[in-house]
Structure 1
Amino acid sequence: MNANDRTPADLLRSALASDPGRPLVTFYDDATGERVELSVATFANWVAKTANLLQGDLAAGPGDRVALLLPAHWQTAVWLLACSSVGVVADVGGDPAAADVVVSGPDSLDVARACSGERVALALRPLGGRFPETPEGFADYAVEVPSQGDRFVPFAPVDADEAGLVVGGVELTSAEVVARGRADAGRLGVVAGSRILSGLSYDAWDGLSAGLYAALAVGGSVVLCRHLGELGEGGLEKRVGDERVTVTMR
């Protein structure tokens, strides 16, 4: 990756310029049997659309706080990179009452209603499906995002030295997120072309790094597994082989 990259959004742009067709995030939900594989180009397109939704329709800008009440999921990874693209602070599991925008999965809607600002709900259904009925007081992400533009340009420059992520109560600048991702990749032996399988939650740095940032920092890819405990005997070993996994974190 480009040594000058200082935000996660920078890392994604470098990945897109380098090899847009390679896999970036492969997602499994072992409770439903869902498998989704997103190339760098497809993932970047979702990020651009989501960033346009965040900046345009939701009127979020640098310094604003977005509470992400979401599990480890490919759409959560998209939102993390969209927040980086706009320059807003992604507060993972943060207090909705203290946020300008809340983004909620289907299991945290009641908690998310404490946000007095904009509210977005994700059904987290296979293929990015929408809710059968939009939750009251929320915009349905799956309804709103398809019509957004495929290219994103921030209204204001993103400062890598400003807060970009809060996880586990720890606030990190965007530059610190990139530096930590690179350091973790080095510690784990992750290099360009590596495949990290992660069954870790996104509610702590280790899960975010294994499930997104470490691979993104060095040109690797992620096999992100939700409900990994649902796999039967021998299932994990088969997945490691099928997905050509080089590092396993669980």
Structure 2
Amino acid sequence: MSIPAIQLMTELRSGQSTSPRLTWYGPDSERVELSGRVLDNWVAKTSNLLQDELDAEPGMRLRLDLPAHWKSVILALAAWQLGMEVVFDDAEAELLATADPGPGAAAGGFDAVMAVALPALAMRWQGELPSGAIDYAAEVRSHGDVFMPHVDPEASRRAVLTSAGTVLTHGELLDGFAAAHDDGLRLLVPAGDGLEAALAQSLGAWKGDGSVVLVHPDVVVTPKLLGDERIQGH
């Protein structure tokens, strides 16, 4: 039986696949909208990058040193689809995804460091990268749109280590980590609450066949935004 993250991606790409599933409002008037099909496409490409270039496999850990952002949500879903464990803060991990790939990150004992450029239209990292760091934005687009795991992940493996120190397995991800929401909800998720909260809220919305509007702290949530996006929960 496949793990919940794989089942979730299957449902997002095969249900109302052209409907918005993840919408991002960022600074500088950024608005990025991903349908179920496009979201799955990004997650598949990222899973293939992790597996084929970084030798990621079930049981390995990915530390997300990133704010709540549409790209960090993609990275978490890709790691879970692979059967990896997602960790935050200063937790030990084999792989690191960061928006600050300075010398400290490169020398932190990771097998690989991915530099994640956050501006919406960034096609590559601006400026020099430390030796050995991988440019996520530049590399991910060359990978396949369909993900086939080399090793089938197991539901009993660790999926997330929360900042509070709680460990949840892949089998518990949608029932123990995901927030509870009504079905079909168009949910406002404030990015200022942090990545861990954004992931829990997003998984809860998608579990119920809903969608997410993730909003950067610098963006004012106006009645017009709520109306334009048809937000039902926040």
- The two structures have a TM-score, normalised by structure 2, of 0.91
The change in CA–CA distance for 1:39 and 1:142 in structure 2 (over 3 A counts) is same
Letter in 1 for 2:215: C
Alignment-derived partner of residue 112 in structure 1? 105
1:126 aligned counterpart, secondary structure: coil
Distance, in Å, in 2 between the alignment partners of 1:60 and 1:173 is 18
- Structure 2: gaps spanning 5 or more residues: none
Matched, 1:243 2:229: yes
- The two structures have a TM-score, normalised by structure 1, of 0.85
Letter in 2 for 1:112: A
Letter in 2 for 1:191: D
| Post-superposition offset of 1:44 | 0.5
Q: Indicate the percent of aligned positions where both proteins have the same amino acid.
A: 31
The change in CA–CA distance for 1:223 and 1:184 in structure 2 (over 3 A counts) is same
Query: What is the RMSD computed on CA atoms of the aligned residues?
Result: 1.9
Matched, 1:160 2:155: yes
Instruction: Give runs of aligned pairs for residues 27-42 of structure 1, distance below 5 A.
Output: 27-29=24-26, 31-42=27-38
Instruction: Judge conservation of contact 1:93–1:203 (CA < 8 Å) in 2.
Output: no
Instruction: Give runs of aligned pairs for residues 139-154 of structure 1, distance below 5 A.
Output: 139-154=134-149
Letter in 2 for 1:120: M
Matched, 1:83 2:79: yes
Alignment-derived partner of residue 62 in structure 2? 66
Instruction: Judge conservation of contact 1:181–1:217 (CA < 8 Å) in 2.
Output: no
Q: Deviations over 1:21-80 (max 9, x none)?
A: 111100011x32211000011110010000000011000111111111111111111111
| Post-superposition offset of 1:131 | 1.4
7, 12, 22: which one aligns with 2:9: 12
The change in CA–CA distance for 1:219 and 1:155 in structure 2 (over 3 A counts) is same
Instruction: Judge conservation of contact 2:3–2:170 (CA < 8 Å) in 1.
Output: yes
The change in CA–CA distance for 1:222 and 1:181 in structure 2 (over 3 A counts) is farther
Distance, in Å, in 1 between the alignment partners of 2:5 and 2:122 is 23
- Structure 1: gaps spanning 5 or more residues: none
Instruction: Give runs of aligned pairs for residues 173-188 of structure 1, distance below 5 A.
Output: 173-180=169-176, 184-185=180-181
Which stretches of structure 1, 4 residues or more, deviate above 3 A after TM superposition?
108-111, 180-183
Instruction: Judge conservation of contact 2:3–2:154 (CA < 8 Å) in 1.
Output: no
Alignment-derived partner of residue 102 in structure 1? 96
177, 189, 192: which one aligns with 1:198: 189
| Post-superposition offset of 1:171 | 1.5
Letter in 1 for 2:205: A
Distance, in Å, in 2 between the alignment partners of 1:43 and 1:123 is 18
The count of residues paired between Structure 1 and Structure 2 equals 230
